[in-house]
Amino acid sequence: MSKITINVDTLDIQVSDGLTILEAIREVNYDQLDMSIPTLYYLKGVKEVDESGVCVAEVEGEAELVNASVYKVYEGMKVQTKSPKCTEARKAVLADIAAKHDKDCINCHRPGTCELQELLHKYEISSSKMDADKKVAIDDRAIIVRDHNKCIRCGRCVAVCKNGQGVEAIKATGEGWDMVVEPVSADGLIASGCVNCGQCIIACPVGALYAKDATAQVFDAIADPNKYVMVEVAPAVRASLGEEFDFNIGTDVEKRLPETLRALGFDKVFDTKFSADLTIMEEANEFIERLNGNGPLPIMTSCCPAWVKHCEDKHPELLANMSSCKSPQQMFGATAKSYYAEKMGIAKEDIVMVSVMPCSAKKFEITRDDQDGAGVPDVDIAITAREFARMIKEAEVKLTAVPFEPFDDPLGIGTGAGVIFGVTGGVMEAALRTAVEKLTGETLPKLEFCDVRGMEGIKEASYDIAGTTVKVAVASGLANADALLEKVKAGEADYHIIEVMSCPGGCINGGGQPHQLAATWDMVDVRGKRAAVLYKNDANSPIRKSHENPAIIELYDTYLGAPGSEKAHQLLHTTYVAR
């Protein structure tokens, strides 16, 4: 793209032709140049027109302020972003929004990451709390809680649900401050096809949407002397949690997690990458059986509960193609309450299994039927990475100061293959590492399957495995999954394995991950930096293939027998239902 010169706040800068004023200023890294245009309704890739009234600029030759999110730059343009006219316009808009917004910031789930709060502070806007008689009831009937009193009518949640996910569980009716964002069904989100992915929570600039909090349940369980409280931590959490404690985006905090969890009072602390390896053992075995004619192809991964529910809702005719394997979260709980409980002499009924996940849909998953392999719920409480961060802060544990210690054995042992589960393509890559070696009987000379890496919405590849051309596809984002599956159903695409993650980029971008401001998403490759953590973690792991995990080998040798055994099916596999 050719470059042009524009003048912004008396400074000449070179920018790419064809951009909007907002895009141009962000392209040149306004943090270094002290240039900025605030946004409130804008979110790159989701809603790229900011109609809030704060995203304005003064352009020489224009009588009125222009919308910087739509007005295109041109050679020689002179722009002011900090003029008194811009500032007064923004203040007027923000004062109007503040007057209609519930500013109970103390009890809000977005302290420090609320985009409105940041602008109110910057422009010194203050007003009293919303009158009690103007408030409406908070809708907490579903896992995703809706507080319309905090809604600023930006439409970002509606856009991501419709365009990014293709779910359309929510809608906006009315205009301006009469607009109401609500489920498409009067019976609420549960009846509206919501899959609990939480992408609406990530898109929301304020605290109008959040996942139902379970931290009090966890603290209560830890305080109960009759309960043995175990915790598992998902791979993607180590790539994001540090952001809640002022670490740079892309910092791996895995080594800080075990002692942090012990400081909170958990009896045993484990790593979900152990059960990610276990999932690969079962899933690779299932794929090989189907490849040999014992089941339908393509086999579709079942690790993502939002995707599983979406398939049950929108593609019930393909449920037979879904792997019967439980997710790593559920496999872990089932193993902990059977194998580990028996090994340690702990009554399974006394165990409280807590999971720390990057995902809001995991809260739904623990309520599904057929998730009680040991005769008790596999997992009792699921919390998000954000809830985990709140627990750490409430307990005044200093993440920056805890010593580096390992997870507890044997369920704390995992491989590089297990850790990359947290990024799109990671489940596919981990499965291929094991399936290829099982099918060929040969050691892979190179473990990286780079064709399935990257943030593209749909990725395809073919591999020659033991004389069979195996075709694979990876989709992240449910709208992309829908497009892929429609081709499969129409006979226009032919695959052996399909991996689907509901969140674009995979679990590193899950609905339970730490919030980032819209400007940060625009300026920084957040997903890429988090993904790089997991790939580096994999590359540095002493064991990088699931079938070489010694704890997994022992589990099969002493307890399960073999992948796909009757006992393995009882504990580690599940069923689905057309909705």
**Tokens in use for 548?**
């070489």
* Number of helical H runs and strand E runs in the chain: 21, 17
Same domain, 152 and 46: no
Is the pLDDT confidence value at 29 over 80? no
Residue 99 lies in a domain: no
β strands within 11-151, DSSP E: 11-16, 56-59, 66-67, 78-80, 144-146
Residue 561 lies in a domain: yes
Same domain, 369 and 448: yes
Angle at alpha carbon of residue 549, lines to 544 and 553, rounded to 5°: 150
Q: Mean of the pLDDT values across residues 256-275?
A: 98
CATH code of the domain covering residue 43: 3.10.20.740
Instruction: Tell me how far apart the alpha carbons of residues 48 and 27 are, in angstroms, rounded to a whole number.
Output: 15
The count of other CB atoms within 10 Å of the CB of residue 33 is 13
pLDDT for the residue 33: 55
**Which among 269, 267, 257 has a CA at the least distance from the CA of 222?**
267
| CB-CB contact of 490 with 512 (8 Å) | no
pLDDT for the residue 67: 98
Same domain, 379 and 471: yes
Q: Among residues 150, 181, 211, which one ends one of the domains?
A: 211
Same domain, 140 and 227: no
Is the pLDDT confidence value at 274 over 90? yes
Q: Mean of the pLDDT values across residues 147-168?
A: 96
**Which among 276, 204, 272 has a CA at the least distance from the CA of 237?**
272
Same domain, 205 and 234: no
Residue 50 lies in a domain: yes
Instruction: Tell me how far apart the alpha carbons of residues 274 and 549 are, in angstroms, rounded to a whole number.
Output: 8
- Give the residue carrying structure tokens 């910087």: 68
Per DSSP, the three-state class of 300 is: strand
Residue 101 lies in a domain: no
Same domain, 57 and 195: no
pLDDT for the residue 301: 97
Instruction: Tell me how far apart the alpha carbons of residues 228 and 496 are, in angstroms, rounded to a whole number.
Output: 42
Angular region, 465: left φ>0, alpha ψ -120 to 50, beta rest: beta
Residue 202 lies in a domain: yes
Element spanning 485, H or E:
helix 478-489
Is the pLDDT confidence value at 34 over 70? no
Is the pLDDT confidence value at 32 over 80? no
Instruction: Tell me how far apart the alpha carbons of residues 388 and 128 are, in angstroms, rounded to a whole number.
Output: 31
C-alpha 297, offset from chain centre: 28
Contacts of 131 (CB under 8 A, 6+ apart): none
CATH code of the domain covering residue 125: 3.30.70.20
C-alpha 322, offset from chain centre: 21
Instruction: Tell me how far apart the alpha carbons of residues 120 and 303 are, in angstroms, rounded to a whole number.
Output: 41
**Which among 485, 553, 547, 241 has a CA at the least distance from the CA of 384?**
241
Is the pLDDT confidence value at 23 over 70? yes
Report which DSSP code applies to 131: P
Same domain, 377 and 525: yes
Q: Among residues 211, 235, 267, which one ends one of the domains?
A: 211
Confidence of residue 277 (pLDDT cuts 50, 70, 90): very high
Instruction: Report CA-CA distances (Å) from 172 to 66, 134, 153, 180, 380.
Output: 26, 20, 8, 6, 35
Q: Mean of the pLDDT values across residues 206-234?
A: 98
Residue 472: Cβ-neighbour burial (10 angstroms; 0-12, 13-18, 19+): buried
Same domain, 386 and 248: yes
CATH code of the domain covering residue 388: 3.40.950.10
User: Mean pLDDT of all residues in the chain?
Assistant: 95
Confidence of residue 73 (pLDDT cuts 50, 70, 90): very high
Same domain, 430 and 491: yes
| CB-CB contact of 80 with 57 (8 Å) | yes
Q: For the residues of 403-437, what is the DSSP string, one character each?
A: PP-PPPTTTT---HHHHGGGSTTHHHHHHHHHHHH
The count of other CB atoms within 10 Å of the CB of residue 181 is 23
Q: Within 13 Å, how many C-alpha atoms sit on residue 87's CB side?
A: 7
Same domain, 253 and 153: no
Paired with 458 in beta bridges are: 475
For the chain, the domain total comes to 3
Structural domain harbouring 88: 3-94
Is the pLDDT confidence value at 92 over 60? yes
Instruction: Tell me how far apart the alpha carbons of residues 160 and 156 are, in angstroms, rounded to a whole number.
Output: 6
**Which among 508, 511, 518 has a CA at the least distance from the CA of 211?**
511
Q: For the residues of 193-229, what is the DSSP string, one character each?
A: T-----HHHHH-SSSSEEEPP-HHHHHHHHH-TT-EE
Residue 246 lies in a domain: yes
Instruction: Tell me how far apart the alpha carbons of residues 450 and 279 are, in angstroms, rounded to a whole number.
Output: 21
Q: Among residues 211, 230, 257, which one ends one of the domains?
A: 211
Instruction: Tell me how far apart the alpha carbons of residues 215 and 199 are, in angstroms, rounded to a whole number.
Output: 21
| CB-CB contact of 529 with 421 (8 Å) | no
Interval 309-359: pLDDT, tens: 999 999 999 999 999 999 999 999 999 999 999 999 999 999 999 999 999
Contacts of 551 (CB under 8 A, 6+ apart): 274, 409, 410, 411, 413
Same domain, 163 and 234: no
Same domain, 202 and 231: no
Q: Which of the two residues, 26 and 133, has the higher pLDDT score?
A: 26
Contacts of 4 (CB under 8 A, 6+ apart): 14, 15, 16, 17, 73, 74, 75
Is the pLDDT confidence value at 132 over 80? no
Is the pLDDT confidence value at 109 over 90? no
Is the pLDDT confidence value at 263 over 80? yes
Residue 512 lies in a domain: yes
Interval 404-440: pLDDT, tens: 999 999 999 999 999 999 999 999 999 999 999 999 9
Q: Give every strand in the sheet of 56-59, ordered side by side.
A: 11-16, 3-8, 78-80, 56-59, 66-67
pLDDT for the residue 134: 75
Residue 579 lies in a domain: no
Contacts of 315 (CB under 8 A, 6+ apart): 482, 485, 489
| CB-CB contact of 365 with 303 (8 Å) | no
Q: Mean of the pLDDT values across residues 372-401?
A: 97
